[in-house]
Structure 1
Amino acid sequence: MPLKIVFAGTPDFAAAHLQTLLDSEHDVVAVYTQPDRPANRGKSLHASPVKQLALQHDIDVYQPLNFKEAEDRAALDAIGADIMVVVAYGLLLPQTVLDTPKYGCINVHASLLPRWRGAAPIQRAIEAGDSESGVCIMQMDAGLDTGPVLVTRRCEIESDETGGSLHDKLLEIGGPALLQALAAIADGSASAQVQPSEGVSYAHKFSKADAAINWQKSAQQIEQTVRAYNPFPVAHCGFEDKGKAQRLRIWQANALEENITDPAGTIVKVDQNGIWVACGDNKQLHISQIQLPGKKPMSLKDLLNGRADLFNVGEALS
């Protein structure tokens, strides 16, 4: 049975799930998304990916700052939706909103709940060295990702997984999981399982500061940081170029098992295959793709062809 759906979401991950609904039998009657934000160097207002997709399909778009105003709650009630589907919306919904649609609100969450409740489950799972992730379709309550789970789909986190590649994996399984949950709700067969009280962790929102490399950490921890924040905001450290402090962005790196005794942050080897840097556990990080300020990402071979003097054995990265 087709459902009359209000969709709430903001980034690309949400837009992909909106497209899944648009391609289904269900009827998306309205979209909620975050207000337009300044973007790029010109700081002009930029519509979210969800808003852009909704406008392409002539769907009404609502962008309240929150649902504290009575008129915003009344507007949602007037839509008369069967259900609200929420994917990375960016707002905590009050109970009055959760109770408005006939079947309440469900959420697509990119983790295996109760692990990694919160804003950045993809990055935090890789950063922590998890071997598994997945998508949970959850019946929403007033807590932060605490509601009972309707559908769970799992996937492996590979040893070379990045934030970008895991994002794409979860998109592939998230859409079918959402449609499965909606079908069960529509035919009355849905059965939500209360989340266990053990294993709760929180995926706090990240900033560029989270991607800063601390060379005192182990090589494996630093590798996980590099992979977690690829493609955004990209792991980084400091270096000197002609006496001037600069930021080096690190796109690809892997931890090595060989023991060394050099102080953490010291460059121990440089050649066309990469830069080897000492880490806090007396292991090494092999860096194979970097990005200099104002440049595109490049291999060390390409870098050394133009700036062979830039990184030298014995120098330290900050």
Structure 2
Amino acid sequence: MSTPLNIIFAGTPDFAAKHLAALIQSEHNIVAVYCPPDKPAGRGKKLTACATKQLAMEHNLPVEQPINFKETDSQEILAQYNADVMVVVAYGLLLPEVILNTPKLGCINVHGSLLPKWRGAAPIQRSVEAGDVITGVTIMQMDKGLDTGAMLLKAECAIEDNDTSATIYEKLAVLGPEALLDTLAMMAKADFNSKEQAQVQDNELATYAQKLDKAEAELNWQLNAQQLSRKVRAYIPWPVAQFTYQEANGKQHRIRIWQAKAEDNKHNQAAGTILSADKTGILVATSSGALRLLELQLPGKKPLAVADILNGRADWFVAGQHINGVS
């Protein structure tokens, strides 16, 4: 037998809001929603609420926005909600141990990987970049470590050859809420015992998903074609893989790559050499194989198929020259 849980929800982006939406439609009671303080956005730098706060306000849910939980006032406010559990999804703030221990059943987190693989800030991107064929979400009981808590439930999905971080994000935004509701149903049962039902992570199998950096977007043609193809897919929608083309006059243009595919091409050219450029794409030599560029974005322009790019910039992509132009 189970009874509805009183839940504090903490999250920020659209991914978190999708989980909050599922909770709003469930039998459970949301007693408060926690979000970071509003941030300036857009050209006017107007203070803007995150997706989670906007959804909470639409449903007249109490919203709290502490800068952190270091102050006792913030800790006491959270305790006054008398929650059974705190659900954390892409919140962005560290929770001190006093907060983790405040709800009756503790705090649980929806993490975008199959733990203990890809702990950390960018699990989706690192999974695609590494060439994983399966990913998913893990619902874990939070502890004071970084994604080290005992696992309550896992849900898997395939990573297809044409998946980007953006498409995996959308898959997990469907999978995560379903897994969360299943976990809460388990926790709502009278006989629930976290220590007995949660699986401790094997730290020896853990990998770390380091936060993405803009500098990673510049492709290194000394990598092989498969590695470069995965990077292109992993860096969509941000920071987007790119290369810098330099004209003879020294002017540089950062060109983003939105679509590319690896080919098993037995060339004998130096990495970065353009092997061909036509309506089928710009084929660039790598350390092993070749990368066919299919969709590019010139500075200040929209992404276009290579066939359209070549209509105006064929002189930039001539077979035999380096993809970066004059160095």
Q: TM-score, normalised by structure 1?
A: 0.96
Residue by residue over 1:62-83, the C-alpha shift from the partner in whole angstroms, topping out at 9 and shown as x without a partner, is 1222110111101101111111
Residue equivalent to 1:226 = 232
Distance across 2 between alignment mates of 1:57 and 1:72: 23
Distance across 2 between alignment mates of 1:46 and 1:237: 33
Higher mean C-alpha deviation, range 306-315 or range 81-90 = 306-315
Note if contact 2:11-2:90 (Cα within 8 Å) is conserved in structure 1: yes
Residue equivalent to 2:177 = 175
Distance across 1 between alignment mates of 2:46 and 2:172: 31
Residue equivalent to 1:300 = 306
How many residues are matched?
A: 317
Q: In structure 1, give the amino acid aligned to 2:28.
A: H
Match among 261, 266, 272 for residue 268 of structure 2: 261
Distance across 1 between alignment mates of 2:305 and 2:83: 52
Residue equivalent to 1:315 = 321
Note if contact 1:51-1:61 (Cα within 8 Å) is conserved in structure 2: yes
- Match of 2:315, SS state, is coil
Note if contact 1:92-1:144 (Cα within 8 Å) is conserved in structure 2: no
Residue equivalent to 2:284 = 277
Structure 1 runs (4+) deviating above 6 angstroms are none
Q: In structure 1, give the amino acid aligned to 2:184.
A: L
Residue equivalent to 1:60 = 62
Higher mean C-alpha deviation, range 56-65 or range 175-184 = 56-65
Residue by residue over 1:131-184, the C-alpha shift from the partner in whole angstroms, topping out at 9 and shown as x without a partner, is 110111101111111011111111111111100111111122111110011011
Distance across 2 between alignment mates of 1:79 and 1:315: 65
How big is the shift at 1:59? 1.4
- Match of 1:59, SS state, is coil
Match among 116, 127, 136 for residue 129 of structure 2: 127
The answer to whether residue 242 in structure 2 is matched with residue 236 in structure 1 is yes
- Match of 1:75, SS state, is helix
How big is the shift at 1:45? 2.6
Note if contact 2:221-2:271 (Cα within 8 Å) is conserved in structure 1: yes
Residue by residue over 1:21-46, the C-alpha shift from the partner in whole angstroms, topping out at 9 and shown as x without a partner, is 11111111211112222333433332
How big is the shift at 1:250? 0.1
Q: In structure 1, give the amino acid aligned to 2:274.
A: I
Name the % identity.
53
Residue by residue over 1:69-110, the C-alpha shift from the partner in whole angstroms, topping out at 9 and shown as x without a partner, is 111101101111111000011122111000111111000011
Q: Write the mapping of 1:105-116 to structure 2, written as runs, cut at 5 A.
A: 105-116=107-118
Distance across 1 between alignment mates of 2:55 and 2:221: 42
Distance 1:15 1:239, change over 3 A: same
Q: Write the mapping of 1:1-318 to structure 2, written as runs, cut at 5 A.
A: 1-187=3-189, 188-189=191-192, 191-241=197-247, 243=249, 244-281=251-288, 283-318=289-324
How big is the shift at 1:316? 1.8
How big is the shift at 1:242? 6.3
Distance across 2 between alignment mates of 1:77 and 1:241: 61
Structure 2 residue ranges without an equivalent (≥5): none
Distance across 1 between alignment mates of 2:208 and 2:133: 17
Distance 1:54 1:242, change over 3 A: farther
How big is the shift at 1:280? 2.2
Structure 1 residue ranges without an equivalent (≥5): none
Higher mean C-alpha deviation, range 34-43 or range 112-121 = 34-43
Higher mean C-alpha deviation, range 51-60 or range 304-313 = 304-313
How big is the shift at 1:241? 4.6
Residue by residue over 1:195-253, the C-alpha shift from the partner in whole angstroms, topping out at 9 and shown as x without a partner, is 11221011111122222211111111110000001122211111125631010000011
Distance 1:216 1:312, change over 3 A: same
Q: In structure 1, give the amino acid aligned to 2:275.
A: V
